Amino acid sequence: MKVKIGIAGAGAIAQVAHIPAVLSCEEAEIYALCDVDEARLYKLQEKYKVKIYTDFEDMVKDEELDAVIIATPNYLHYPMCIAALEYGKYVLCEKPLGINTEEVERLVEFSKKHGDKLVPCFNNRLRPDVITLRKYVKGGEIGRVYYAKTGWLRKIGPETPSWRQRKSEAGGGVLLNLGIHLLDHTLWILEKKPVSVCASLHLSGEVEDAGVCMIRFEDDSFMTLEAGWTLLFEKDFTYFNLYGERGSALLSPLKIEQVYKDEVREITPRKPERNPFKVSYEEQIKRFVEFVQGKKKPPFTPENALALSRIIDAAYLSSREKREVEL
C-alpha cells in the first residue's frame, strides 16, 4: 500500500517542491493538505482530489494518515513536530526544525522518546551536482580544501508584511532562512569539524537582512558565507566555490579543475543532469517513504539539524558581541 502523506502548509515551497515530489513517488500519495487559507485549500483540493484541513491537529488525528510534511512558517515547526510525533506520525520537516537551538534540542530528545520518526529536510545534499562534487572532494581530486566560499543574494522586492520580519515567528532573518541551506551542503561536502564562528550582520527591524560569516575548521581551513535579501541587484544569484591545494570547483553550473603536471585541466564529469532542485526533492521524498516503510534508515537525522542550529546561534552571538565564538 502507498504511504499516505499529509502536507502542512500549502504555500510556495509546498506547491513548487513537496507536492510535485510526492506525486512523482510511486510508493506515496498526497492524502491531505492543511493550511489556514481556505480559498487556497479549496483550489488545491479541486486540483488534487485530497482531504483538506484548516486545523493541523485534526489532520494528524486521522488514523489513515501515515506521515506529514511540515512546510509552514518557522515558529510552527516545533509545535507541529511535537503534535505529529505524539500521534505516532512520521515527520519530514523543512529547515529550521526550530527557531533556536533550545527548541531543536528538545525536538531531538522528544523524537528519541517517540520512535525516532523525525526527519529534517536536507534536500540540497541530494542534488546530483552536490553528490558529484562531494565524491570528487572525498577522492582528493582537488587536494585538501583550504577555503570554501558561498552566498545567496536576493534583490530587493516590494515590501510586504511577513512572518519572516518578526523574530518571534522567524527566529532570525536571512542567515537562518537562506544561509542555513548553504551552510548545510557546504559542511556535508567538506566533512570538516567547525571550531569557531565570526559573523557581522545588518539588522533591519527585528531580524537581519544581510550578513557575512567566517567559519574556521579544526584543520585551520575556513569558509565564508554571505546572505542578503534586500540588496540592489539586477537579479538574484547564488554561488559556491571550493579552493584546494591541487584544484578548485564550483556549483551552478558544476565545474571542477585540477592542477596536473603544472597545468590546469578540467575534470568535470560530462553527463546530462535534470534540474538539481527538482531531483533533490524527488529523491528526498523517495528516501523518506522508504524510511516510513521500514526499508531503510532515515536519510537525515534531527542531530544533523541540531549541529546547524548551534552554528547559526553562534553566528548571532558573534555579531551581537563583536567577537569570534568557539563552538
- Classified as helix, coil or strand, 165 is helix
Question: CATH fold of 3-123+279-300, please?
Answer: Rossmann fold (3.40.50)
What is the H or E stretch that residue 321 is in? helix 302-321
Per-residue pLDDT of the chain (327 residues; tens, 9 = 90+): 899 999 999 999 999 999 999 999 999 999 999 999 999 999 999 999 999 999 999 999 999 999 999 999 999 999 999 999 999 999 999 999 999 999 999 999 999 999 999 999 999 999 999 999 999 999 999 999 999 999 999 998 766 678 999 999 999 999 999 999 999 999 999 999 999 999 999 999 999 999 999 999 999 999 999 999 998 888 899 999 999 999 999 998 999 999 998 899 999 998 767 899 999 999 999 999 999 999 999 999 999 999 999 999 999 999 999 999 999
Contact 92, 288 (CB under 8 A): yes
User: Quick one: which of 139, 137, 157, 155 has its CA closest to 147?
Assistant: 137
Q: How far is CA 167 from the centre of its chain?
A: 19
**What are the residue ranges spanned by the domains of the chain?**
3-123+279-300, 125-273+308-326
DSSP states of 83-144 as a string?
HHHHTT-EEEEPSPSSSSHHHHHHHHHHHHHTTS-EEE--GGGG-HHHHHHHHHHHTTTT-S
Query: How many secondary structure helices (H) and strands (E) does the chain include?
Result: 12, 15
**Fold match, 3-123+279-300 / 125-273+308-326:** no
Contact 90, 291 (CB under 8 A): yes
CA distances from 92 to 16, 119, 313 (A): 16, 5, 23
Q: How many CB atoms lie within 10 A of CB 17?
A: 22
Q: Give me the pLDDT at residue 242, please.
A: 98
Q: Give me the pLDDT at residue 235, please.
A: 87
To the question of domain 125-273+308-326 being in CATH 3.40.250.10, the answer is no
Contact 74, 169 (CB under 8 A): yes
Q: Which three cell numbers, joined as nine digits, stand for 5?
A: 502523506
Q: Give me the pLDDT at residue 147, please.
A: 98
Distance in angstroms (rounded) separating the CA atoms of residues 153 and 160: 19
Question: For 308, how many CA atoms within 13 A lie in the half-sphere containing its CB?
Answer: 29
pTM for the structure as a whole: 0.95
Distance in angstroms (rounded) separating the CA atoms of residues 171 and 213: 18
- Classified as helix, coil or strand, 208 is strand
304: phi then psi, degrees, rounded to nearest 5:
-60, -45
Contact 30, 22 (CB under 8 A): yes
Q: Give me the pLDDT at residue 232, please.
A: 85
- 218, amino acid identity: E
